Structure 1
Amino acid sequence: MIWLINAVAHLPDIVILAVGGISTAVTAVGIAVGIRKMIERNAQVQSRSALADVVHASLLAFVVFVMSNVLSDVRANLSKAEDTVLREASIITRVNRDLKLIGSPSAQGARRDLQRYVQNASTRDWKTLSREVPALSVEADADLDKVASDIQAIAFDNPAFASSLSSSMYDLETVRQLRLENAMGTVPQVFWWVISVFLLAAMIMNGRFEMTRRDKVIVAVHSRSCRMT
């Protein structure tokens, strides 16, 4: 399941939602129609069963239950990530302001290194954090090391800013590690397999009845909604 996430991670959210929803809708209708044709070949199989209705409803209920737990966990992680990013941005702004006030050539060079770190952190870090084994990018690590070295030299030459710069760099490194910790707390892979298996079983159960055009639309919309969620 992770390979699929890695394959589409670079795509815009709207494209992922559209492709995932449409493919799931088509798959659900195709499975239901195929199962119905198999049932029709056996005249002894009843088209309706109270037990089958209960099983079908239970499968859908379980899918909803698991997805609600997954979504709660995902929303919590997104909230933590947003708070961490805002805090990191405020720290970077503070460091940049102090360097601007110092105004020396070395401070200007440190500002350029800081800008390069921000660029790599906002582009490369998020790609490496979305992998199966989250990690911080090597490029951003190197940039942050360069900024830390610059700040150490500047703080030595500017005692009035030494405390503020040192504190800000410590906070910046801490917040960056928090981003990694938040990425490590993702939803376990087994949850996605559980959802997929039970959703597939529910799709199969849709084939118990004769599929009219209206029924196909309902199945497609329902399955697409589950996938997009």
Structure 2
Amino acid sequence: MSLPKYYEQKLRILEIIGTSSPGTMIPTERELAERFETSRTTVRKAIAELVVEGRLERTQGRGTFVADPKKIHVRQMTSFSQDMTGYKTDSVVLDLERVPATEEMAVHLDVPAGSTVTRLRRLRRQETEPLAIETAHLPGELSGLEAELAERGSLYATLREAFGIDISAAEDHIETALAAAGDAEVLGVDTGHPLLLVHRTAWDEHGRAAEWTRGLFRGDRFRFIARISK
């Protein structure tokens, strides 16, 4: 059975990637189409698939580059900060406000609708590269959260050390999503770029809901692994 035309070009582009260092700019679609004697549409589809797989990355106005190997993170009882241990990371607080709990928040946090919830929206980065947008919903006002968080970096460490809330269990629900225009701009990707959407509910040592977070992770930079053992 013959391979699809775009897949043949994908394999040829992979040969180029295999001999190039991360950050190397690959030829343009036009140059590749001429080299492979095929259409730009075929080359564009091959490149798009490699971008989704994390082998290439596009930078608007600059070009397409060989990507760093996709990072692998085990998401179980860990926070983003723990997942990224060993990497130079930071967080940018996009929004921090106290809001009345919606029905959805109330269900996940097991609080009365209309009660105060602290909503923290952050951009998570590795060496200034946007990786994820996390919106955490926490019961109560948590006065001084921003200052405490700035000192520690990790939300879980802040909850434990500054507020006496120790996360002891968590459950993640993971699905795929496409980047909406606003999220795409923050993450530095194209609208419609594949993302991993993670909803996490976490509980403290007393079994009380302590966090409900919606995370949008770049699909070209993350892989989630679940480990099961007897």
Tell me the TM-score normalised to structure 1 length.
0.18
Higher strand share: 2
Higher helix share: 1
Tell me the TM-score normalised to structure 2 length.
0.18
